[in-house]
Homo-oligomer: A and B are copies of this chain.
Amino acid sequence: MAAKASERRLRTPEEYRESLRDGRRVFYRGEAVADVTAHPVFRHAVEHASLDYAMAEDPATLELAVAPDGYSRYFHVPRSADDLLARSALIEAATRAGKTLVVLIKEIGTDALFSLLAMKRLVGEPYGARIDSFYERCRDGDLAVCVAQTDFKGDRSKGPSEQDNPDAYLRIVERRPDGIVVRGAKVHTSVSVNANEMIVLPTRAMTANDADYAVAFAVPLATPGLTLVASPYLSTKDKRPAEFPLSAERKMVETTTIFDDVFVPAERVFLAGEYEHAGELARGFVEFHRFTAISYKLPLVDALVGAGLLAARVNGLERAGHVRDKLAWLISWAETLRALTHHAAERCRQIEGIAVPDTLLVNIAKLQFALGIHTAFQYVQDIAGGLLVTYPAPEDLEHPDYGAALRRYLAAAGGASGAERLRVMNLISDLTAGEYGGYQAVLAIHAEGSIEAEKLTILAQYDRDGAINYARWLAGIDDARGSAS
């Protein structure tokens, strides 16, 4: 029977927020941020992230958000297809409640924890025990955990140890009995300003020369020497929900994360020099994380379908041939992604007792999403019309002189009021034509591994021999048993 959040295995949103006031070193537009929960932009990120905690208290979502053992379901190590489906459903529900923006504060960290747990035998001791211990610490503390993986890389045609800048990849600069000292930086670190712990992983396979770069560990965000430089992209500043229904109050922060000779105690180090495992750790996390990704994309694609349908309705275009064509495409795209996501869970395999979604299907889903989002934007914009970028302001509709006239002109064929129609336009503008849409489009291509990385994985995971053998038999080169005929 499921334990209740009230048994206090889980933190409240307020406890979560309080935990972020710890002296972490964060900068925004060159200025130090004293308290991320009070910052005009970051407070929206904190509020958004609190959703993962609030869902565990809300009776409507409690069952989904809390595992039978009373811990957050995010920390529940998946052992079966059903576990994966439940995790996917939770991620989808949280993002749906988050108005198409993933919450991520528990999702990404547990992806990394699961991949580390699955690698325990590979990396061996003492790392295995440390991984167990760190996993339990995060679960028991109901912590928000972020992941720093991508290095700046410098010249991509060269490996870590071949760079002109020795710090182009994060590296160990000193090994002490009680731990290691690391130097370098990571880019694209999501939700770091409002996480409790940061897991650091290598970004690629490495060679013997790269041993100092083969490093994985975890640190609290307030660790000395750690600096978070937040990206100013997609500010919530001066945006009101009436005009920006998604992006006025929804926010995820990415940082450039600088390690200025940061000391990491031994018990928090999960890899330190075993270069032969760097690639596996890099890939392992990404594979877990891509399943999270395709789960959290579903509310976004649903929103695009719904926005298209709604725009067709308020514009009186539901019967137009080209509109129906575009809607059928949008639905097919969305439901294909949903089917691939669920099917990937159902076709999971076991690694060290952990259920891992089907890698091929996960990557195909991710690729189909990435290849489709710009077309989806085009279609929804096409149905919505030019008002997307020429709409009046919400205040205009309330103006004593001309507001009534505006509302009447904007009123739509299908009975939608002018105010409703304006809200639909504002939604679609926010969703597809402004910074929020651009943010989602760029994430589609680059987050959780780029399109090209997905293609590589698809080629690697597919049963190429099976397909080639079938073609050889069809061509009359081999007989049905695969022997040359």
Name the contact of A474 in the complex, choosing from B100, B443, B464 (C-beta under 8 A): B100
Asked if residues B328 and A30 are in contact (CB atoms below 8 Å), the reply is no
Asked if residues A364 and B336 are in contact (CB atoms below 8 Å), the reply is yes
Say if the beta carbon of A134 comes within 8 Å of chain B.
no
Which residues of chain B come closer than 8 Å to A432, judged between CB atoms? 438
Given A322-B325, A339-B340, A433 and B442 contact (CB-CB distance below 8 Å): yes
Given A315-B156, A390-B187, A427-B475, A325 and B325 contact (CB-CB distance below 8 Å): yes
Question: In the assembled complex, how far is the CB of residue A426 from the closest CB belonging to chain B, in whole angstroms?
Answer: 7
Asked if residues B154 and A309 are in contact (CB atoms below 8 Å), the reply is no
CA distance A224 to B18 in the complex (A): 58
Which residues of chain B come closer than 8 Å to A342, judged between CB atoms? 343
Closest to A372 in B: B378
Which residues of chain B come closer than 8 Å to A255, judged between CB atoms? 390
Asked if residues B325 and A336 are in contact (CB atoms below 8 Å), the reply is no
Say if the beta carbon of A305 comes within 8 Å of chain B.
yes
Asked if residues A470 and B185 are in contact (CB atoms below 8 Å), the reply is no
Closest to A31 in B: B395
Asked if residues A165 and B408 are in contact (CB atoms below 8 Å), the reply is yes
CA distance A426 to B242 in the complex (A): 28
Asked if residues A382 and B445 are in contact (CB atoms below 8 Å), the reply is yes
Which residues of chain B come closer than 8 Å to A238, judged between CB atoms? 237-238
Say if the beta carbon of A232 comes within 8 Å of chain B.
yes
Which residues of chain B come closer than 8 Å to A410, judged between CB atoms? 152
Say if the beta carbon of A405 comes within 8 Å of chain B.
yes
Which residues of chain B come closer than 8 Å to A207, judged between CB atoms? none
Asked if residues A471 and B392 are in contact (CB atoms below 8 Å), the reply is no
Closest to A231 in B: B390
Which residues of chain B come closer than 8 Å to A361, judged between CB atoms? 335, 339
Q: Which of A221-280 contact B (CB under 8 A)?
A: 227, 229-234, 237-238, 241-243, 245-246, 254-256, 258, 260
Question: In the assembled complex, how far is the CB of residue A354 from the closest CB belonging to chain B, in whole angstroms?
Answer: 22
Closest to A469 in B: B306
Segment among A140-148, A173-181, A211-219, A451-459 that sits at the interface with chain B: A451-459
A-B pairs with beta carbons under 8 Å apart, 21 shown: A29-B396, A99-B474, A157-B316, A168-B409, A227-B401, A231-B390, A254-B390, A256-B406, A256-B409, A260-B402, A306-B467, A306-B468, A307-B471, A309-B471, A331-B462, A335-B462, A339-B343, A339-B364, A385-B446, A423-B475, A434-B435
Question: 4 closest Cβ contacts across the A-B interface?
Answer: A321-B321, A433-B438, A30-B395, A306-B471
Residue numbers of A with Cβ under 8 A of B are: 27-31, 96, 99-100, 150, 152, 154-157, 165, 167-168, 185, 187-188, 227, 229-234, 237-238, 241-243, 245-246, 254-256, 258, 260, 299, 302-303, 305-307, 309-310, 313, 315-317, 320-322, 324-325, 327-328, 331-332, 335-336, 339-340, 342-344, 346, 360-361, 364, 367-368, 374-375, 377-378, 381-382, 385-393, 395-396, 398-399, 401-402, 405-406, 408-411, 413, 420, 423-424, 426-427, 429, 431-435, 437-439, 441-443, 445-447, 450-452, 455, 458-459, 462, 464, 466-472, 474-477
